[in-house]
Structure 1
Amino acid sequence: MHAMLNIAVRAARTAGNIILKGFENRDELMTEMKGDNDYVTRIDKEAEQAIIRKIQQSYPTHSFLGEEGGIVEGDDDYQWVIDPLDGTTNFVRGIPHFAVSIALLHKGRLDQAVVFDPIRGELFTASKGSGAQLNGFRIRTSKARDLSNTVLATAFPFKAKQQTQQCLDSFQAIFMKCGDVRRAGSAALDMAYVAAGRYDGYWEKGINAWDIAAGELLVKESGGLVTDYDGGNNPMKTRSVVCGNPKVVQNLVKLINS
């Protein structure tokens, strides 16, 4: 395992332990609202701080972009992009589907990725050029040739409900062509499941960099394609993402823009 990936795994497991303890004692948590339908808890903040501390023990000069703490200045050649608890709403409501997401950008390019599901003990990892793994075993995207009989994943714009109609139009066009669609509440796990071939594809608009950074590398290293809604190659900046194997992505982008 790459040295930096190994540190990221340790950081993710540390955060996972904090999250599990918090999940067992949710009644004691104080839940705040960052915005409409957007929760944050003490556990989100503690988990992010634990991740940063663990990484800084080995790489004290690196910079960070976290969902809760924003930017931590440092060496811009190495930036860690962190979502300490992707799926906070699930966590707050007792739904056991959430994950820790950690990615490393080296000179602006994705280099290492970890998505850790502490409930199931599933560790998804990827290093640029070395493939993607689940608990140490190689994973690949599905081999679907078109959308028929596929199982896809998506999300709805709960923070920007004025975009609902556009989202529903795309959903209807895609749903009529595929087998079924899931909306599970964690972008990081959605993309990890695409990388593992559990889902055939995933699309979402209004997403943040920390939600999809690790997932993007996982999908790419498992043989998949990741684009934005226009088919471009920078979903973290455009805040829209489509992923799956190349044939699935081509079909999804076409329907989204129809």
Structure 2
Amino acid sequence: MNLNTIHHQAIKLVKEVGEFIKHESENFNTNKVEHKGFNDLVSYVDKEAEKRLVEGLGKILPESGFIAEEGTSNKKGDTYNWIIDPLDGTTNFVHGLPVYSISVALQQNNELVSGIVLEINRDECFEAVKGENSRLNGKPISVSQGLDLSQSLIATGFPYNDFDKMDDYLSILKHLMQNTHGLRRFGSAAVDLAYVACGRYEAYFEYNLNAWDVAAGAFIVQQAGGKVSRFNGDDDFIFGREIVSCSSEVYEELLTVLRNQWKHNQ
């Protein structure tokens, strides 16, 4: 089975699980929500979605392992590993806000080779496979072109359980409020990254993230012509707990802001 076949079978599976999540959202009972930690929510929908993804992806690529948010499988693959967030934006889902997604990426020998982000409510499937351009519902997409930071709309995420870096973060927000078209906080890192990939945002940055939050979306941004790194510019954004993704024109400007204000990198 070649990579393109694996990728397209994974897209089909992700869409099927997306239908399950959409159905469950119609009559979701908030009393069934659990707390993994402060402001860290999980529901039976997250767990069941992940179970279905792990089972399905395991059939598509039997030798693969998993890095999955809810820990459904701890199997590690020698060559292939899926990185899965079954419901990115659980807090939005629980509160009935229509911005949440499924995020699935595939690593081959520690290199990202496939990424899928399904924004469930708008039925938008952002995806990319190694060697090909990123697509939205089958049509090619690219990051925005020709805009500098002052012309940019920026996405971010607010801290929800790690407030030690709050002063640095607020300093960055202040600068960007005064020097861009504005800031948005949707509550799904995967969606934010996908929106950078198709040019709806010029940039996105956030800290205190996990691999399953960013892997698929970051790969889609890269395949759409964008740049991705940590705040200090290094490329360990999958496991580095922070990410900045931009169009190429905005990247150096935003990185300078982050380096100047984010003292925890010094």
TM over 0.5: yes
Q: CA-to-partner distance for each residue in 1:64-114, whole Å, 9 max, x for gaps?
A: 010001652142210000000000000000001100000000000000010
Moved over 2 A (4+): none
Deviation at 1:177, TM superposition (A): 1.4
Deviation at 1:174, TM superposition (A): 2.1
* SS at 1:8 equivalent: helix
> 1:248 is matched with which residue?
250
> 1:59 is matched with which residue?
61
Q: Could you tell me which runs of 5 or more consecutive residues in structure 1 were left unpaired when the two chains were aligned.
A: none
> 2:135 is matched with which residue?
133
Deviation at 1:197, TM superposition (A): 0.3
> Which of residues 166, 169, 174 in structure 2 aligns to 1:167?
169
Matched to 1:156, the amino acid is F
Asked if 2 retains the 8 angstrom alpha-carbon contact of 1:140 and 1:223, the reply is: yes
Matched to 1:154, the amino acid is T
TM-score by length of 2: 0.94
> 2:9 is matched with which residue?
7
Matched to 1:222, the amino acid is A
> 2:44 is matched with which residue?
42
| Distance (Å, rounded) in 1 between the aligned partners of 2:127 and 2:40 | 27
Deviation at 1:27, TM superposition (A): 2.3
| Distance (Å, rounded) in 1 between the aligned partners of 2:192 and 2:6 | 24
Deviation at 1:215, TM superposition (A): 0.6
Asked if 1 retains the 8 angstrom alpha-carbon contact of 2:104 and 2:117, the reply is: yes
1:195-210 matches, cutoff 5 A: 195-210=197-212
| Distance (Å, rounded) in 2 between the aligned partners of 1:237 and 1:111 | 16
Asked if 1 retains the 8 angstrom alpha-carbon contact of 2:103 and 2:117, the reply is: yes
Deviation at 1:58, TM superposition (A): 2.2
In structure 2, relative to structure 1, the CA distance for the partners of 1:227 and 1:74 (3 Å cut) is closer
TM-score by length of 1: 0.96
Q: CA-to-partner distance for each residue in 1:151-189, whole Å, 9 max, x for gaps?
A: 110011112123222211111122221111100000000
Matched to 1:181, the amino acid is L
Equivalent residue pairs, number:
258
* SS at 1:161 equivalent: coil
Matched to 1:73, the amino acid is K
Q: Could you tell me which runs of 5 or more consecutive residues in structure 2 were left unpaired when the two chains were aligned.
A: 261-266
Identity, % of aligned positions = 36
> 2:111 is matched with which residue?
109
